[in-house]
Amino acid sequence: MDTVVWLIVALPLAGFLALLFFGRRLGEPVAGYVGSATVGLSFVLALVAALEFLGGGEDVHARTVELFEWIPSLGLSASFLWDPLSAMMTLVVTGVGTLIHVYSVGYMHGDPRFGRFFTYLNLFITSMLILVLGANFGILFVGWELVGLSSYLLISFWFEKPTAAAAGKKAFIVNRIGDFGFLIALMLIFAAFGSLDFAYVFENASATLSTGTATAIALLLLVGAAGKSAQLPLHVWLPDAMEGPTPVSALIHAATMVTAGVYMVARAGALFTLSPTAGAVVTTVGAATALFAATIAIGQRDIKRVLAYSTISQLGYMFMGVGAFAFVGGVFHLVTHAFFKALLFLGAGSVIHAIGGEQDMAKMGGLRKKVPVTFATMVVAWIAISGIPPFSGFWSKDEILASVFNRGGGYLLLWAVGIVTAGLTAFYMSRMMFLTFWGEPRWDAGVAPHESPRSMTIPLIALAGLATVGGLINTPWRPTLEHFLEPAFELVEQAHLPAGGTQIVLAIVSIAAGVIGILVAYQRYVVRDTALEEGGRWDTLLEGYHVDDFYGRTLVAPGKAAADALAFTADAKVVDGAVDGLGAVVGHIGRLLTKLQTGLVRNYGLGILAGAVAVILWLLVAGGAL
């Protein structure tokens, strides 16, 4: 079994190396097959390895696979942890990853860097698996940084476009801010425990940490998680990341990488539960992000940017869940969200593909009949994210909201925010669907929409199936996922769900919010056939409340000014001045000394003679003769 665990990582890695060296020669479509096959095999292996936990064998809860000693002086080893939580994440990453690999074979058709694309995708899968399988914070951090790198490479995959290159840089830099907090948290953990090993740290957490230290560590971890998972105030990179190819948006910027923050908080649950303050902060950040991003999503024109803000908003829900210590709820929403959001992105990609690369919803409309498979599958995702039972989004979102509600006190306010956001979510998703698929066709003349090839529609159908039934893995009366994950959270005091009656009332409220959102959107965009809004407050929403401008003025501009000052004043004048000045002084002295070189042999002779006389005089004086 240990071999299987490291093979899960080794297979995509082997695929990455093979594609790195032979990707161009393999070309299209073989490179895509190699990438898909390695990730697919890895998924099968993960499935086999996960059966061990499902079999009900109570003796095996976690398995640590040590590969080699990494930094002996820190007691760090390169080891993987195979427990229900990491198994869950591995299945999502490799499962959704396989579908998106297959989809990409069709989507990237004809791209001149076809092989390179799959090289990067495999690098991403490898990195993400290292992240979720790491058995200590060190390995987790390695994966954390590697996914950042692959995200950067894939966002700026079409680097000929200046906007794509800039978006890649932006994502990388904003993530660095989060990573900085994460690194400090790791140092604090090491200072407190003398170890970064999950098992050791979590077992001794309550005995070792004071509430203050726990709060500090948890909040710094939150900074890291907020960077990776695009939470306020570090959310700005995710909408721009849509410059990357659509499968990348689906895999990395919706389904997997951005959920790394949620995974990390859930994994470090033993640290977060020690500090109610940190939990409250995480929940508040999540709720604020959910509401904030949902309102922005309403005003977007670009179909992918709607989904990007929607992703930020849904990640906010997951943070609400893990912040309220409903770790299973948070991870559950992570899983269902991976299904329906990947589906939405791939569907959007299929739509974009169908009308020749156009992403502006102003130029869509009436596509229902033209791309029937895409339409049908996207309807499933739309209902799932709107929180209508029995589709998957309802179960997970409701579990989170119910857990938040059950905490009482100030959490009731956050619950209300969550309900409002649920309504807004249903509204903006419906707006996107109605503007894209209903109404009169608005696409450019000469565009003939066509359904995507089978390599793209099959993943859509598979994801639609998962988005439909995915929620049933954890219903209130059959909490399979909760039992599955139980061993991973046995050290943690988890939040509880309210009593059955309350749960039903809460569910009705949240379903009502979703239905109202859909009906309002139907009234506005189908019955009254409102066109895409423009101007005034809509522009504020379109620009995401001008957060980018604000950061530009308060952070980027001073940063650039400081860099300019350093480059053109401190470096050019002071540093270069010192070096140039020294050179000039030496030159001047040299020029003065050349006067000695008269070219007359007599002068040199006189010099030698004078020197000899001086030496003799000195010898005489020193010898006491004079």
Partner 1 sequence: MPLLAQAAGSGITVEPHWYMALAAVLFAIGAAGLLLRRNALVMFMSIELMLNAVNLTFVAVDAGIGSLEGQISVLFVMVVAAAEVTVGLAIIVAVFRKRATASMDELSGLKG
Binding span for partner 1 by CB under 8 A among 192-200, 212-220, 408-416, 604-612: 604-612
> Does residue 609 belong to the site contacting partner 1 (CB under 8 A)?
yes
Q: Considering the complex, what minimum distance in angstroms separates the CB of residue 597 from partner 1?
A: 3
Q: Considering the complex, what minimum distance in angstroms separates the CB of residue 586 from partner 1?
A: 15
Q: In the complex with partner 1, which residue's Cβ is closer, 176 or 588?
A: 588
> Does residue 626 belong to the site contacting partner 1 (CB under 8 A)?
no
In angstroms, the CA 344 to CA 255 distance is 11
Which helix (H) or strand (E) segment holds residue 31: the answer is helix 2-54
Q: Considering the complex, what minimum distance in angstroms separates the CB of residue 563 from partner 1?
A: 45
> Does residue 601 belong to the site contacting partner 1 (CB under 8 A)?
yes
CB atoms within 10 A of CB 135: 25
162-193 vs 211-228: helix axis angle to the nearest 10? 160
Q: Are 271 and 219 in contact (CB under 8 A)?
A: no
Q: In the complex with partner 1, which residue's Cβ is closer, 499 or 593?
A: 593
Q: In the complex with partner 1, which residue's Cβ is closer, 25 or 595?
A: 595
Please name the residue ranges forming H helices in 387-476: 392-407, 411-437, 454-469
> Binding residues for partner 1, how many (CB under 8 A)?
13
Q: Considering the complex, what minimum distance in angstroms separates the CB of residue 588 from partner 1?
A: 14
Q: In the complex with partner 1, which residue's Cβ is closer, 73 or 597?
A: 597
Q: In the complex with partner 1, which residue's Cβ is closer, 57 or 607?
A: 607
Please name the residue ranges forming H helices in 61-136: 84-107, 114-133
**Three-state DSSP class for 78?**
strand
Q: Are 307 and 341 in contact (CB under 8 A)?
A: yes
Q: In the complex with partner 1, which residue's Cβ is closer, 112 or 599?
A: 599
> Does residue 606 belong to the site contacting partner 1 (CB under 8 A)?
yes
In angstroms, the CA 220 to CA 223 distance is 5
Q: Considering the complex, what minimum distance in angstroms separates the CB of residue 591 from partner 1?
A: 9
| Per-residue x/- track, 581-600, partner 1 (CB under 8 A) | ------------xxxxxxxx
Q: Considering the complex, what minimum distance in angstroms separates the CB of residue 570 from partner 1?
A: 38
Q: Are 133 and 86 in contact (CB under 8 A)?
A: yes
Backbone angles phi, psi at 68, to 5 degrees: -165, 165
Count Cβ atoms within 10 A of the Cβ of residue 451 and give its class: 0-12 exposed, 13-18 middle, 19 or more buried. Answer: middle
Q: In the complex with partner 1, which residue's Cβ is closer, 25 or 602?
A: 602
Q: Considering the complex, what minimum distance in angstroms separates the CB of residue 602 from partner 1?
A: 5
Query: 356 forms bridges with which residues in the sheet?
Result: none
Distances (CA, A) of 459 to 232, 307, 374, 410: 32, 18, 11, 42
In angstroms, the CA 544 to CA 265 distance is 27
In angstroms, the CA 513 to CA 61 distance is 40
Tokens of 351: 């739509």
| Per-residue x/- track, 209-238, partner 1 (CB under 8 A) | ------------------------------
Q: Considering the complex, what minimum distance in angstroms separates the CB of residue 587 from partner 1?
A: 13
| Per-residue x/- track, 462-501, partner 1 (CB under 8 A) | ----------------------------------------
> Does residue 602 belong to the site contacting partner 1 (CB under 8 A)?
yes
Q: In the complex with partner 1, which residue's Cβ is closer, 445 or 592?
A: 592
Positions in the binding site for partner 1 (CB under 8 A) = 593-602, 605-606, 609
